[in-house]
C-alpha cells in the first residue's frame, strides 16, 4: 500500500527509528515502526484487519478516518487517499479498495 503523510514534518519524524524515538519515545516509536512497516507491506487496508494494532474505522466527527493502536491510548490516525472513496453496495467503506493512505497524526483522541 502507498503510505503518504499529512505534511513533511510528520513524514520526517516517522522516517527512521532514531527520529521516531526522539519524537515519540522508545515504546511508541517501536510500535509505530511496526505499524508503518505493516501498512507499507499491505496490498490494501483490508490486510490490516488480521494484523496487530486493531485497525478500525472511527465515527462521529472523525468519520472517514481510521485508527491503529500503538501504546496505551495512543493511535496512528490515517485516512484513505482516494477521491472518490471506495464504497461497498451497502454504503460502507470498501477496505479492499483502499490502496493509498495518508497518515494524519499520532495522538490520544480519547481525552
pLDDT per residue over 79-94, tens digit each?
Answer: 999 999 999 999 999 9
| CATH number of the structural domain spanning residue 67 | 3.30.2310.20
Other CB atoms within a 10 A radius of the CB of residue 34 amount to 15
Q: How many domains does the chain have?
A: 1
In angstroms, rounded to a whole number, what is the distance separating the alpha carbons of residues 28 and 72? 9
Q: How many residues does the chain have?
A: 111
Supply the pLDDT for residue 73: 95
In angstroms, rounded to a whole number, what is the distance separating the alpha carbons of residues 12 and 18? 11
Supply the pLDDT for residue 27: 96
Is the whole-model pTM more than 0.75?
A: yes
Q: Map grid coordinates 514534518 to a residue.
A: 9
User: Domain of 77?
Assistant: 2-107
DSSP notation for 21-69: HHHH-HHHHHHHHHHHHHHHH-SSGGGGGGSTT--EE--GGGTT-EEEE
pLDDT per residue over 9-58, tens digit each?
Answer: 999 999 999 999 999 999 999 999 999 999 999 999 999 999 999 999 99
Amino acid at each position: 500500500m502507498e503510505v503518504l503523510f499529512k505534511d513533511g514534518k510528520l513524514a520526517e519524524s516517522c522516517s527512521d527509528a532514531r527520529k521516531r524515538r526522539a519524537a515519540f519515545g522508545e515504546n511508541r516509536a517501536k510500535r509505530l515502526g511496526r505499524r508503518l512497516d505493516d501498512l507499507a507491506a499491505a496490498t490494501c487496508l483490508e490486510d490490516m484487519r488480521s494484523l496487530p494494532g486493531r485497525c478500525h474505522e472511527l465515527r462521529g466527527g472523525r468519520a472517514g478516518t481510521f485508527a491503529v493502536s500503538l501504546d496505551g491510548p495512543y493511535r496512528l490516525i490515517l485516512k484513505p487517499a482516494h477521491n472518490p472513496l471506495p464504497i461497498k453496495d451497502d454504503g460502507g467503506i470498501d477496505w479492499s479498495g483502499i490502496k493509498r493512505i495518508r497518515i494524519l497524526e499520532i495522538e490520544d483522541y480519547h481525552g
